[in-house]
Structure 1
Amino acid sequence: MPKPRPRQTAGAIALTLAASGSAVVIQPLAPAVAARVNATCVNTAADARTIQAAIDASKEGDEVVLKGPCLINRTITLRGRRTYRGDAKAGTVIKQADGANLPAMLASESWVTDQAYSSDPVRIERLTLDGNRDHNTGTVGLMLRSWDSRIYDVDILGTPSDGIRVSNPSKNGTKLRNTMVNSVISDVYIERAGGSGLKVVDPGNAVTDWTFQRSWIGFSGESGVEAENSAGWTFSDLHLYATPKNAIDAHRCFGTSIRDNYIEDFGTKAAARQTYYGVRCDLQGEAATTISNNRIHKFGNMAQSRTAQQDARFVFLALDDVNYGRGHAAVTGNTILGHGTRQETGLLFRRGRGALSVASTGNLVDNVGVPRSIGPGVRLTSGY
């Protein structure tokens, strides 16, 4: 998968020429000195202007420090090559004002301005976003359209839509002409998102090679993780609980790693004749995916489910399609525990439109109605 070439700033490459007799000495310009830019909120609707003014006044390399409880009524545009930091998650709470109905609370600059290229890197840490879901609609907490970024130690609570969305299309639907890769989201807590906890929107092939790790997602309105493009992604050490639909729904897996996740429950608001997944991948050809050491449970009362949600199905781990070519996957060391009903399938392997080779070893599948379902034409190996 192609990677973007990092763009150098003028300060990093500009040279000055100084005459010294007959010799010419080439000297690099001194780099700009990073500064701290403070944005102090007073918990009124003017806070959005205060924050944006501080960001707009900052320079590349600066740290924008957000202080105090903040009330916002407009989307905050995050300019690239800056760090955005709160004093602490409990001390820096950014809340959406009643009735603001923002498309996003914080958003990468290229998403806001509808550019065809991803924004430069950002770092966001040590703050809380409160989407005020009871008094707003349609709002994403953090809208990312920046490459090589770092999101760390952030709480995102009560967003009307997705907690975090990584988006190829911009605000008006402009698609990227380059790639948006190499970012890390870590140690975040997402609760009561009206949509999915993390959603990846990528109708092209731009959003690849990210890591989402060591985080908690609970009581979402839809899925825990929903990714239209999972190529090169790592989803690891996630704790996903009380998920109405799918815990991890990963599409276009290509060199993807899904490992060491704890799924407490999924399909908690199942509807009749629908299928819900603990971990799901559909595969691309040409690269191998690994799904390992996940703990997948269905803690809900299945007796009640059979009465209230007739014909709903629950699949704990599925490879259910190959989009092209031959898909390759290793499914190892996963632990699956269900309620022993006909509605539950432990492992499901289907080749769909392509061919599928699976090494399935060392998995514990216990107390489910169908321990393993293998479709025609799937090549199953025991590994080496």
Structure 2
Amino acid sequence: MTREREWFPRSDVPQIGQRLRDRREAVGLTQCELARQLGVGESTYVHWERGRLPGSVAEGMVRALEAALQVPQGWLLDHEVLPLPEPVLDAANAQASQRGCDGLPTRISRARCRELGPHARRLREELGLSVAEVTQACGVSRPTLLQWEGGAFPKTLTADRLRAWARALLLAPEQLLALPAPHPGVHDGRWRVVIEAETLEAAIHRVAQCLATRGRNLLRPGQPLDKRARRNADLLAHRYGIGSHRGPLVDVAVSYGMAATELRKTVARLITRSAQFAFEIPVLDVVVTAGGLSSATAIADDRVRDLLGPSLSMERAAAFAGEILSRRIAGADPRMGGGPRTAPR
């Protein structure tokens, strides 16, 4: 009877892991490429090579491994060290050994790095980012980044370092390597930021956070805002009638220990800063199309109400569009939306 599973004795597991690694390297496959051929996750296969195999594996998986590694059937569990045929290195395997799962070279040559460094510096300057901000985002020291930007690399640049550098510049790795293209997220000197949200209220919150951090929250989206940025984002959102606070904006400022003068300067500074960004908010376009933001009866439309969010009014939505996006909404109250960028009263 054909067995359905192969059992791995615990004492043999380290030897099996080492055997897998040695033969994979001889065949010229990366861990990622072999995992893909087997239909398992890369992390799962990495565990196998490190000797963290399960107690048993499907017999078909063992046969697939042996076929991919170009070894005789039964080799993986054989206690004898048998001579193996020379591996056949085809073009696909040779290419896989030089590239990772995302198609990036595992290492970037020094010659390419000399061009890449100054290009990355220009991209950083287009975004208006400091050296310190990029070093923090990509996890390298200031001297290291300055060396990179000068095109000086003590060693070739690894794919992991390239990914981190690109992420710190709000790029995909292939975009960073696309010399000498300008930054795709900057147009006419302004950051292009797409705000995806189900409601306009949620979109306003995200815009407020972006302005409160000067866009730096985009570098590390998982990191919480600091106390000051969180306060400023709350104040700007409350200007449009949304947030956890109730009552006049000045009362919210008092709860933060701010004087009225400081409040006005803070909100005015955030509104002025919005000119540095080109916000694209798809849900706003849907709201405008569905309700026009101009008809008093449109709010009764359940769809428009759902798009706005639970707290946002039509008038406040128009005020946000005018002040932050410089977008006048036809038919909206000119005192609430579409006017010039001014300090709050």
TM-score range, shorter chain: under 0.3
- Normalised by the size of structure 1, how large is the TM-score? 0.25
Flag the structure with larger Rg.
2
Give the number of the structure whose residues are more often strand, by fraction. Answer: 1
Which structure has more relative contact order (CA 8 Å, sep 6+)? It is: 2
